């Protein structure tokens, strides 16, 4: 029998690292599936009985990463927070050395004093040596970039760490060379030191990684809120008394008491009592479902009205909620990170630059027979090809665009989401809370006798004034909106799953569903056609009657959000297909879809059903999923881009790659439009980053000198490199002026 195993992996910094860990795992006998997660630093494998764990550990260690058995006693949030603290400490230590280094290397340019033993003019050697002594600690602190960078080069998968390692080491070793030349009397090299470049690049990268980790820590913290839906204890009925026990001690077959307002502790069947259960965390539907003996209840849902006794059918990892948690976690790990455009380019760029630098060095050694001349050219090539501009091209544009998006109420959690949102060819929506407001409201009031509609509403709301049921809140909200004063309620009786009975001004009234009135032997008359229309439109019928006759019908339904139709129409203009996924019945979903103009619609779905449909749609489309509830979390993770709503649950926001902060969908259009502009901006940035290299590298290789022209000094190379970085940043900053899409 196959088993699922989890491990902690230390040392992964990029997609190439993730790929290396997965490949090493799959080389291990018995491993059928391997998925590593960069944000959580975990490895999940599916293994058969022949699996050899010792071999797995050996294979992972040989790739340069540390592996440990997964520690489930310590939460992922605590692990991430500890890592964040370690990164913060490293940055502080690095800054302690960087600041005096910058003072020594740059201070004299603006007239800052230096002791004579390290002043450039008085003691060039002391000036260079002091910079070396302050640079080395920074490089030691950032040693992981060198380990990972060169490790990926040796695997033939160079990434941004590889570029950082090459660029900083080129500057550092040229500084060492300069120090040696100064010691030999060539003091001119005191003006050609690049120690501070190595240190600055490393510290900036550390800060960037720290910010990335901070975001990841927050995400994992929010993700664990899903697990908090499980209550910690349950009320066990032993046949005579009730005993509060830890949830971990509950067994299949136990009987548990669930009081009104309690979270149902685990999956089970009702064996006594009846109630209404809020299952919105499962179905997304706002109206509680009536439950009675032999009906199933799901752990994590909320018992709203009556006390019930349930017989436990599933515990622990077998419950529906645990399955959702597991699916969200697996979807997060299986979702392969999109390879950044700059990383793809660097895979070709790094070996080409290295090859050109070596070719130029060898050529000039033979042509000039001058090592100093050749090393000058070698370093010039590497310095002008420093990864600064290339490294800034993508993240600067994404950072700026993310800031602009935030101003328009769109929070983007990853550069991948921003980069691929414009490519979405299908947008799938959850219904309740996404397309609709997510809370019941009074829609129709029909009088079947001579009473006015206002009177029907007032009597119904007055009967419900002692109830906390969502329908009662909808009736109360409507009367408050119209400014009516509630009537005095003399008596009140609740019939769980059916309705209520009350006395107003000495007269008995019944309010509830059709079953409620049938039990009171009150005829519903010729109302079947009306209520059938209500049902087709997703409305729930509420009947109001006296002791002898029906006097009115009130429909309760969820309302469409403002601007939804315009958003759907705008998506269609972009040739984007739309779909509606809901736990509501197929008839209601079809009505809503046609009402707003959505192309495809699917009803009566459980969370895992939504995931399956998204997976199928991904065969032909780049899919964006928009949802607001826990029931949408798996689908949000399964989609190419998941969009959560801030008005929804925390887990929906965490599962999404993008969060819409405003309670409408207009932000989707801004997301798609801004994504297109950002991709265009990134391509422009990469063009400028390479434009300088295409022009500068041949000059740095000595092309002009070959024809009697000047030789490119490494300082000029560094200046050109800086200019390319500045142009990239300025171009990216244009995204700050983004105005958003208005309907």
Interatomic CA distance for residues 11 and 209, integer angstroms:
13
In sequence order, the β-bridge partners of residue 277 are: 289, 303
Interatomic CA distance for residues 310 and 273, integer angstroms:
9
Interatomic CA distance for residues 530 and 322, integer angstroms:
41
**Residue 718 in contact with residue 194, Cβ under 8 Å?**
yes
**Residue 676 in contact with residue 422, Cβ under 8 Å?**
yes
Interatomic CA distance for residues 526 and 141, integer angstroms:
81
Pairing of strands 289-291, 66-69: unpaired
- Catalytic pick from 267, 290, 430, 657? 430
Residue 241, class by beta-carbon neighbours within 10 Å (0-12 exposed, 13-18 middle, 19+ buried)?
exposed
In sequence order, the β-bridge partners of residue 428 are: 579, 625
State phi, psi for 231 to the nearest 5 degrees: -65, 155
C-alpha angle 507-508-514 in degrees, rounded to nearest 5: 140
Which stretches of 225-312 are DSSP H helices? 280-283
C-alpha neighbours within 13 Å on the C-beta side of residue 674: 36
CA dihedral angle for residue 68, residue 73, residue 75, residue 78, rounded to 10 degrees: -80
Which residue reads 């001119």 in tokens?
188
**Residue 405 in contact with residue 419, Cβ under 8 Å?**
no
Is 238 considered catalytic here? Answer: no
Q: Which residues contact residue 136 at a Cβ distance below 8 angstroms, ignoring those fewer than 6 apart?
A: none
**Residue 430 in contact with residue 660, Cβ under 8 Å?**
no
CA 683 to chain centre: 25
Q: Which residues contact residue 662 at a Cβ distance below 8 angstroms, ignoring those fewer than 6 apart?
A: 409, 646
Residue 330, class by beta-carbon neighbours within 10 Å (0-12 exposed, 13-18 middle, 19+ buried)?
middle
Q: Which residues contact residue 624 at a Cβ distance below 8 angstroms, ignoring those fewer than 6 apart?
A: 421, 424, 426, 427, 428, 639, 640, 641, 642, 643, 668
State phi, psi for 51 to the nearest 5 degrees: -60, 135
**Residue 700 in contact with residue 373, Cβ under 8 Å?**
no
- Give the DSSP letter of residue 97: H
- Which of helix, strand or coil describes residue 37? strand
- Which of helix, strand or coil describes residue 68? strand
In sequence order, the β-bridge partners of residue 511 are: 500, 544
Structure tokens at 516: 């409620």
Q: How many residues does the chain have?
A: 743
Residue 721, class by beta-carbon neighbours within 10 Å (0-12 exposed, 13-18 middle, 19+ buried)?
buried
Residue 506, class by beta-carbon neighbours within 10 Å (0-12 exposed, 13-18 middle, 19+ buried)?
exposed
CA 384 to chain centre: 36
C-alpha distances in angstroms, 339 versus 19, 344, 465, 493?
11, 7, 57, 63
**Residue 628 in contact with residue 656, Cβ under 8 Å?**
no
Pairing of strands 3-10, 42-47: antiparallel
**Residue 452 in contact with residue 647, Cβ under 8 Å?**
no
The set of catalytic residues is: 430
């Amino acid at each position: 029998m196959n088993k699922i195993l989890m491990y902690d992996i230390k040392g992964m910094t990029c997609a190439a690292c993730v790929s290396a860990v997965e490949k090493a795992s799959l080389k291990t006998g018995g491993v059928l599936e391997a998925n590593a997660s960069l944000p959580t630093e975990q490895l999940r494998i599916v293994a058969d009985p022949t699996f050899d764990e010792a071999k797995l550990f050996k294979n992972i260690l040989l790739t340069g990463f540390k592996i440990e058995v997964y520690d489930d006693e310590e939460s992922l949030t605590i692990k991430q927070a500890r890592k964040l603290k370690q990164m913060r400490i490293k940055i502080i230590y690095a800054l302690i050395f960087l600041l005096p280094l910058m003072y020594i290397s740059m201070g004299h340019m603006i007239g800052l004093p230096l002791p004579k033993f390290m002043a450039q003019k008085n003691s060039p050697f002391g000036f260079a040596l002091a910079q070396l002594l302050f640079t080395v600690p920074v490089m030691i602190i950032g040693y992981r970039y060198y380990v990972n960078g060169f490790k990926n080069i040796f695997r033939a998968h160079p990434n941004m760490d590889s570029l950082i390692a090459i660029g900083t080491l080129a500057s550092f070793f040229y500084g060492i060379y300069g120090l040696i030349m100064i010691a030999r009397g060539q003091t001119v090299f005191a003006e050609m030191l690049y120690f501070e470049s190595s240190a600055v690049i490393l510290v900036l990268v550390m800060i960037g990684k720290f910010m990335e980790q901070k975001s990841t820590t927050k995400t994992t913290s929010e993700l664990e809120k899903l697990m908090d839906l499980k209550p910690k204890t349950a009320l066990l009925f032993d046949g005579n008394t009730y005993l509060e026990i830890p949830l971990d001690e509950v067994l299949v077959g136990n009987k548990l008491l669930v009081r009104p307002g309690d979270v149902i502790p685990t999956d089970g069947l009702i064996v006594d009592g009846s109630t209404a259960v809020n299952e919105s965390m499962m179905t997304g539907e706002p109206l509680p479902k009536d439950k009675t003996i032999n009906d199933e209840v799901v752990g994590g849902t909320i018992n709203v009205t009556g006390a019930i006794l349930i017989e436990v059918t599933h515990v622990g990892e077998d419950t529906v909620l645990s399955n959702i948690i597991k699916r969200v976690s697996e979807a997060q790990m299986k979702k392969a990170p999109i390879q950044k455009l700059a990383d793809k380019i660097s895979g070709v760029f790094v070996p080409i630059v290295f090859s050109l630098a070596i070719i130029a060095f060898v050529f000039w050694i033979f042509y000039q027979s001058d090592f100093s001349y050749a090393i000058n050219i070698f370093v010039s090539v590497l310095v002008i090809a420093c990864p600064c501009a290339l490294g800034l091209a993508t993240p600067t544009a994404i950072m700026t665009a993310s800031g602009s998006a935030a101003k328009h109420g769109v929070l983007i959690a990853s550069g991948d989401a921003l980069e691929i949102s414009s490519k979405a060819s299908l947008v799938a929506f959850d219904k309740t809370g996404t397309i609709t407001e997510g809370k019941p409201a009074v829609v129709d009031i029909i009088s079947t006798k001579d009473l006015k509609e206002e009177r029907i509403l007032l009597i119904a709301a007055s009967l419900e004034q002692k109830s906390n049921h969502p329908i009662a809140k909808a009736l109360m909200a409507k009367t408050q909106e119209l400014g009516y004063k509630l009537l005095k309620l003399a008596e009140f009786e609740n019939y769980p799953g059916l309705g209520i009975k009350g006395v107003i001004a000495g007269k008995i009234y019944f309010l509830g569903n059709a079953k409620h009135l049938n039990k009171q032997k009150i005829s519903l008359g010729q109302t079947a056609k009306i209520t059938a229309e209500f049902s087709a439109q997703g409305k729930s019928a509420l009947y109001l009657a006296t002791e002898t006759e029906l006097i009115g019908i009130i429909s309760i339904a969820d309302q469409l959000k403002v601007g939804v139709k315009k958003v759907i129409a705008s998506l269609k203009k972009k040739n984007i297909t739309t779909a509606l996924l809901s736990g509501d019945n197929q008839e209601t979903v079809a009505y809503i879809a046609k009402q707003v103009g959505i192309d495809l619609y699917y009803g009566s779905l459980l969370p895992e059903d939504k995931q399956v449909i998204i997976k199928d749609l991904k065969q032909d489309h780049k899919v964006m999923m928009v949802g607001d509830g826990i029931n949408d979390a798996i689908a949000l993770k399964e989609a190419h881009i998941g969009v959560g709503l801030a008005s929804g649950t925390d887990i929906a926001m965490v599962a999404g790659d993008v969060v819409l902060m405003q309670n409408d969908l207009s932000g989707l259009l801004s997301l798609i439009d801004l994504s297109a502009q950002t991709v265009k901006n990134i391509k422009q940035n990469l063009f400028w980053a390479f434009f300088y290299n295409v022009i500068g590298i041949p000059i740095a290789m000595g092309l002009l000198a070959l024809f009697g022209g000047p030789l490119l000094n490494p300082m000029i190379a560094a200046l050109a490199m800086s200019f390319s970085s500045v142009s990239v940043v300025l171009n990216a900053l244009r995204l700050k002026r983004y105005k958003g899409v208005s309907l």
